[in-house]
Amino acid sequence: MAEVRAEMVANVWKIVVAEGDTVEEGDTLVILESMKMEIPVLAEDSGVVAQLKVAEGDVIQEGHLIAVIE
Amino acid sequence: MFDSVLVANRGEIARRIIRTVQRMGLRAIAVHSEADADLPFVTEADDAVLLGPAAPAQSYLDVDKVIAAARATGAQAVHPGYGFLAENASFARAVTEAGLVWIGPAPEAIERMGDKINARNMMESAGVPVAAGTREPVGALTEAVRAAERIGYPVMVKTAGGGGGIGMGVAHDEESLGKAFEQASRAAARFGGAQDGTSRAILLERYIERARHVEIQILGLADGTVVALGERDCSVQRRHQKVVEESPSPGITADLRERMLAAAVRAGEAVGYRGAGTVECLVDADAQDFVFLEMNTRLQVEHPVTELVTGLDLVEHQIRIAAGEVYALEARPGGHAIEFRVYAEDPKRFFPGPGKIDVWEEPSGEGVRVDSGYVAGNTVTPFYDPLMAKLCVHGATRDEAVARARTAVAAFKVEGPKNNLPFCAELLDDPEFVSGDYDTGLVSRMRKAR
């Protein structure tokens, strides 16, 4: 199980995957936006997206849980 | 001369404009979002109006709210700064229609230069060299492939209406062109679609491998003459965005400089330009040749570099020209100036790092100028661009400017948000930068070498 957390304060611009999706290491899970920059959040392991804890438009803080990959 | 200026911007540039407005004896009016209420540009202005929530669309980009703020405070003129509404022709028109003075070029000049394809074709007619590229917008990938074969790889793919490097990509072959085209199309749909259909279009241009980004500052005077105030070399870039700028450029010969300044004057005259503008060019460092890239119809972030070498206050001239004051101007640049953009971002990967500022101590001393948007206790929020301050140095020679920069960077203390001051220090020790013989690939080479 791998937790994916936000590295910075950001807005959630786009959700790319859905719960239940199978992802490969390096796949984009969500795209954040902070300070006019798009920041893709990538899966660090291959697996299934067990939980997706953010929605488009959310403002998240550094350390906020974005997804759980199992 | 009008007696008051509303500054339709935020952060360091709003503060810097307000300083000149007040020095000229005029009343400075700030507008701000809820997120910016305690920033220096708000507290230092003579009057301030809350526009709305943090999101730019509900505050700094809301034309009706800005015009209403001008009416409510009795402002007589509007300075747009850079970014936000600065290159929005409808805003310029709305300001004029409200009976206010627009401190900027005519809306027609903004429109003509805002569309990069149109601008490029116009410059070519005016005798300004342009890169081999598409004359018309490219709609589909198949068209792009045909165009790239005609121009010759590598090609630069960019959006016709976008700026700041958003959506730009280099393609070395048909496969990478597909990727770059898709990326540019997404960016065009998202960032460039606000104005009209043409700004969503894609443009292809011949890509120069060892390129320097050199731009010319022009000033269109009230009597119609255009003067060139020297160049700025902006080749230190990350993600196609500038980090460090200097003047004079260490990478062009006197002969090339003369040709570039003359072309910039022709470019300005071709659009009947009034006020401060910048003609951006790409220089082929090996061939010592240049092509027109785009014209920015506003004050530029890095304008202090020009101010330091010419001794002119560009904001003062913008205001005097907008007020219709007629005078002649001659620029005699002297010495060497360098500007470092102090961004709230990590110094390794350049990812944004907003946060509360616990410590903020600016350097000072001979030849040091800091334009900052924040003081200790402020918070850098994720809603706007990451620029916190501009650290500028001036010296008699480039070596002296570099030495002063090293001292100033070391003395600049910022704690709280991540910041790129360690990168600035690293750059000042990089042999390629110190030699002056660098190009736009410098930062990515520095990161690969690690």
What residue in A sits closest to B166 (Cα-Cα)?
A37
Q: For the segment B278-308, what is each residue's pLDDT rounded down to a tens digit?
A: 999 999 988 899 999 899 999 999 999 999 9
Task: Please give the DSSP secondary-structure letter assigned to residue B196.
Answer: -
Domain that holds residue B292: 211-448
* CA–CA separation, B447 and B233 (whole Å): 21
User: What pTM value is reported for the model?
Assistant: 0.89
- Number of C-beta neighbours around residue B242 at 10 A: 22
Q: For the segment B341-382, what is each residue's pLDDT rounded down to a tens digit?
A: 999 999 999 999 999 999 999 999 999 999 999 999 999 999
Structure ipTM: 0.75
Give the gap in angstroms from C-alpha A7 to the nearest C-alpha of chain B.
9
Query: What Cα–Cα distance (Å) separates residue B215 from each residue in B188, B281, B283, B394?
Result: 24, 5, 9, 19
Q: Is residue B114 part of a domain?
A: no
Q: What is the tally of structural domains in chain B?
A: 3
* CA–CA separation, B107 and B119 (whole Å): 14
Within 13 Å of residue B54, how many CA atoms lie on the same side as its CB? Answer: 14
Q: Give yes or no: residues B201 and B215 share one domain.
A: no
B351 lies within 8 A of chain A by CB: yes
Q: Give yes or no: residues B311 and B177 share one domain.
A: no
Among residues B22, B7, B104, B12, the alpha carbon closest in space to that of B299 is found at B104
Among residues B254, B201, B251, the alpha carbon closest in space to that of B441 is found at B251
pLDDT on residue B194: 41
Interchain pair A39, B385: CB under 8 A: no
The answer on pLDDT for B450 being more than 80 is no
Q: Give yes or no: residues B346 and B228 share one domain.
A: yes
A39 lies within 8 A of chain B by CB: yes
SS3 B101: strand
Give the gap in angstroms from C-alpha B387 to the nearest C-alpha of chain A.
9
Q: Give the domain CATH number at B57.
A: 3.40.50.20
Overall average pLDDT of the B151-175 stretch: 84
* CA–CA separation, A54 and A11 (whole Å): 10
B354 lies within 8 A of chain A by CB: yes
Q: Give yes or no: residues B199 and B238 share one domain.
A: no
Q: Which residues of B are catalytic?
A: 298
Q: Give yes or no: residues B228 and B81 share one domain.
A: no
Which of B206, B230, B252 is where one domain is finished? B206
Which of B163, B189, B206 is where one domain is finished? B206
Which of B103, B120, B149 is where one domain is finished? B103
Q: Give yes or no: residues B273 and B137 share one domain.
A: no
* CA–CA separation, B376 and B360 (whole Å): 5
Q: Give yes or no: residues B188 and B219 share one domain.
A: no
Max Cα separation, chain B? 59
| Domains defined along chain A, listed by start | 2-69 (2.40.50.100)
Interchain pair B352, A39: CB under 8 A: yes
Interchain pair A35, B355: CB under 8 A: no
Q: Give yes or no: residues B229 and B363 share one domain.
A: yes
Q: Give the domain CATH number at B148.
A: 3.30.1490.20
Interchain pair B355, A7: CB under 8 A: no
A57 lies within 8 A of chain B by CB: no
pLDDT on residue B191: 57
The answer on pLDDT for B95 being more than 80 is yes
pLDDT on residue B443: 97
Burial bucket for residue A1 (CB in 10 Å: 0-12, 13-18, 19+): exposed
Q: Is residue B113 part of a domain?
A: no
Write out A1-60 in H/E/C secondary structure: CEEEECCCCEEEEEECCCCCCEECCCCEEEEEEECCEEEEEECCCCEEEEEECCCCCCEE
Query: What Cα–Cα distance (Å) separates residue B1 from each residue in A11, B5, B30, B57, B319?
Result: 44, 11, 19, 32, 9
